[in-house]
């Protein structure tokens, strides 16, 4: 079933580059029809719009709203069948009382299962569980010609690994079977460390991450010179029942809740300025303990600290913001250093950067994670960033690294193949699978995917 279309102007989470599309609502049974009827500008599926740039936009074409969410009972092996429109928020609330948890969660739980597969998202546990696509048993994909195929890493590896990370361009995912992991509580035991500089945090992660299921560091991007890369490293594991005490013992599930605060409107100019950022970063670093172990944090506090404030992206004002996230091989920590130096020198206000050490990447053709370091930085979208970031792209590529498409809003098409060696295979597959180009997005147009 499909409902009538409405005209909408859409952006990604960064609120840059708005374009107009007609928003279609349908359930899984209506998707084939929408694809077959798609006009010359095609259709793209949208999840919860948490990608920063333009992958879930389709100027002048159709955008499919998230399919109605539903979650089946987990099977005996813990796997669970869900609609692609289900949010990880709802999925966690469903699973926790059953003693299960998602194996991969990004830094926000307001993403859809479809979006998590299409971007092959990673979480703090990447060094242990890999990316989202590696925890999917199978998915139901409506192809551009309207036929539905169930594909998995074993049944149709080519189509599967093109779809995982494929940014919605191989078909519309309508349902998926996901693995889950057993947990005893909705809490984590967390070890927090304050580290004085980049070398210290890199060393600590390389040597100690294996002892934890989850690990991520927040870098103070305002620190320069000897303090460059000073950070707070936060690592943890799911807490067993017998590790809970106090409030946590009384409410061991601590189901994640809706945001408590909302940014009600967009301020006329960005509140993220050099001054506010410096003050915030300083305060945040000072407040962190030098060392604290076995602290209990609930799922929201540990995995999704930003989800507490709805619409925080509005704080960047009407021009919006971009996130630059890149990954480089283990041996190229020097690129992380140079990029931190460059950002600090240029005085672009950047909140805390997030540093993570990835485990081996997945076979996804356009998947982002690869073994090594990844750094993510948010900054207001100013036109003078264009050349700066293009320069960083060159350094990343020279080190054999790449920029994350789910965060990107400004890459140039010529550089994509150097970052994603299978981009040409991806284009060929699309030409075969979708000769009429029923699937299109602003990202695909911009990057010639």
Partner 1 sequence: MINALGRPQTVLLLGGTSDIALALARSWAHEPGLYVVLAARPGPRRDAAAAELEQLGCVVEPIDFEATDTARHPALIESVASGRDIDVAVVAFGVLGDEERAWQDHETAVHLAEVNYVAPVSVGVCLAERLRRQGHGVIVALSSVAGERVRRSNFAYGASKAGMDGFYLGLGEALRGSGARVLVVRPGFVHTKMTAGRDAAPLSVSAEQVASAVTKAVASGDDLIWVPAAMRGVMSGLRHVPRSLFRRLPI
Q: Whole-number minimum distance, CB 170 to partner 1, in Å?
A: 21
State how far the Cα of 9 lies from the Cα of 420, in Å rounded to an integer.
Answer: 30
Which two structure tokens, joined as six digits, stand for 115? Answer: 């979006």
Q: Comparing C-alpha atoms, which of 235, 9, 31 is closest to residue 143?
A: 31
Residue 186 sits in the site that holds ligand FAD (CB under 6 A):
no
Residue 67 sits in the site that holds partner 1 (CB under 8 A):
no
Residue 445 sits in the site that holds partner 1 (CB under 8 A):
yes
Written as one string, the DSSP assignment of 92-144 is: HHHHGGGTEE-S---S-S--BHHHHHHTT---TTHHHH--GGGGEEEEEEE-T
Which two structure tokens, joined as six digits, stand for 416? Answer: 């994509």
Residue 385 sits in the site that holds partner 1 (CB under 8 A):
yes
Q: Give the residue, chosen from 59, 173, 340, 429, that forms a contact with partner 1 under the rule CB under 8 A.
A: 59
Residue 17 sits in the site that holds partner 1 (CB under 8 A):
yes
Phi, psi of 256 (to 5 degrees): -60, 140
Q: Which is nearer to partner 1, 59 or 217 (CB)?
A: 59
Q: Which stretch binds ligand FAD (CB under 6 A): 42-50, 152-160, 238-246, 280-288?
A: 42-50
Q: Comparing C-alpha atoms, which of 321, 337, 330, 322 is closest to residue 395?
A: 337
The helix-helix angle for 198-208 and 333-346 (nearest 10°) equals 150
Which two structure tokens, joined as six digits, stand for 11? Answer: 């952006």
As to burial, measured by CB atoms within 10 angstroms (0-12 exposed, 13-18 middle, 19+ buried), residue 241 is: exposed
Q: Whole-number minimum distance, CB 10 to partner 1, in Å?
A: 9
Q: Where are the alpha helices (DSSP H) in 288-347?
A: 299-303, 333-346
- Which residues have a Cβ under 8 Å from the Cβ of 156 and sit 6 or more positions away? 149
Three-state DSSP class for 68?
A: coil
Q: Which stretch binds partner 1 (CB under 8 A): 154-162, 273-281, 383-391, 393-401?
A: 383-391
In the region spanning residues 53 to 82, those forming contacts with ligand FAD, defined by CB under 6 A, are 55-56
Cβ pair 144, 45 in contact under 8 A: no
Residue 119 sits in the site that holds ligand FAD (CB under 6 A):
yes
In the region spanning residues 26 to 45, those forming contacts with partner 1, defined by CB under 8 A, are 41
Q: Whole-number minimum distance, CB 111 to ligand FAD, in Å?
A: 3
Residue 112 sits in the site that holds ligand FAD (CB under 6 A):
yes
Please tell me the count of residues contacting partner 1 according to CB under 8 A: 35
In the region spanning residues 296 to 315, those forming contacts with ligand FAD, defined by CB under 6 A, are 306
Q: Give the residue, chosen from 14, 74, 166, 168, that forms a contact with partner 1 under the rule CB under 8 A.
A: 14
Instruction: State the residues that interact with ligand FAD by CB under 6 A.
Output: 13, 44-51, 55-56, 84, 106-108, 111-112, 114-116, 118-119, 121-123, 167-168, 172-173, 306, 406
Site residues for partner 1 per CB under 8 A: 7, 9, 14, 16-21, 41, 53-54, 58-61, 318-320, 322, 381-383, 385-387, 389, 409-410, 412-414, 442, 445-446
């Amino acid at each position: 079933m499909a409902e009538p279309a409405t005209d909408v102007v859409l952006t990604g989470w960064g609120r840059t580059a708005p374009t107009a599309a007609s928003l279609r609502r349908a359930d899984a049974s209506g998707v084939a029809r929408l694809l077959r009827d798609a006009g010359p500008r095609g259709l793209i599926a949208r999840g919860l719009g948490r990608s920063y740039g333009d992958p879930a936009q389709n100027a002048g074409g159709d955008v499919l709203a998230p399919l109605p969410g539903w979650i089946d009972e987990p099977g005996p092996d813990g796997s669970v069948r869900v609609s692609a429109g289900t949010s990880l928020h709802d999925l966690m609330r469903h699973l926790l009382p059953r003693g299960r948890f998602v194996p991969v969660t990004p830094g926000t739980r307001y993403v859809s299962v479809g979006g998590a597969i299409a971007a092959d998202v990673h979480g703090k546990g990447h060094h242990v569980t890999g990316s989202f696509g590696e925890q999917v048993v199978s998915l139901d994909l409506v192809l551009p010609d309207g036929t539905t195929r169930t594909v998995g890493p074993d049944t149709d590896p080519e189509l599967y690994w093109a779809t995982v990370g494929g940014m919605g361009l191989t078909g519309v995912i309508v349902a998926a079977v996901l693995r889950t992991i057993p947990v005893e509580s909705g809490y984590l035991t967390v070890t927090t460390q304050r580290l004085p500089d980049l070398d210290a945090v890199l060393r600590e992660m390389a040597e100690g991450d294996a002892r934890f299921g989850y690990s991520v560091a927040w870098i103070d991007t305002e620190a320069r010179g000897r303090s460059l890369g000073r950070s707070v490293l936060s690592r943890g594991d799911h807490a067993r029942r017998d590790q809970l005490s106090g409030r946590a013992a009384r409410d061991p599930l601590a189901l994640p809740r809706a945001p408590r605060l909302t940014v009600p409107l967009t301020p006329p100019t960005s509140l993220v300025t050099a001054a506010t950022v410096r003050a915030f970063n300083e305060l945040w670093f000072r407040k962190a303990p030098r060392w604290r172990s076995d602290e209990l944090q609930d799922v929201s506090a540990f995995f999704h600290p930003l989800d507490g404030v709805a619409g925080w992206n509005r704080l960047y004002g009407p021009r919006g913001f971009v996130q630059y996230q890149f990954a480089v091989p283990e041996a190229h920590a020097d690129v992380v250093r140079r990029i931190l130096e460059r950002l600090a020198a240029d005085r672009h206000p950047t909140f805390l950067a997030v540093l993570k050490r990835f485990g081996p990447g997945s076979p996804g053709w356009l998947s982002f994670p690869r073994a090594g370091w990844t750094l993510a930085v948010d900054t207001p979208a100013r036109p003078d960033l264009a050349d700066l970031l293009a320069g960083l792209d060159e350094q990343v590529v020279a080190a054999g690294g790449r920029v994350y498409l789910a965060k990107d809003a400004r890459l140039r098409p010529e550089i994509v193949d150097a970052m994603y060696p299978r981009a040409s295979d991806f284009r060929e597959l699309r030409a075969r699978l979708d000769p009429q180009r029923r699937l299109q997005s602003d990202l695909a147009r911009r990057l010639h995917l």
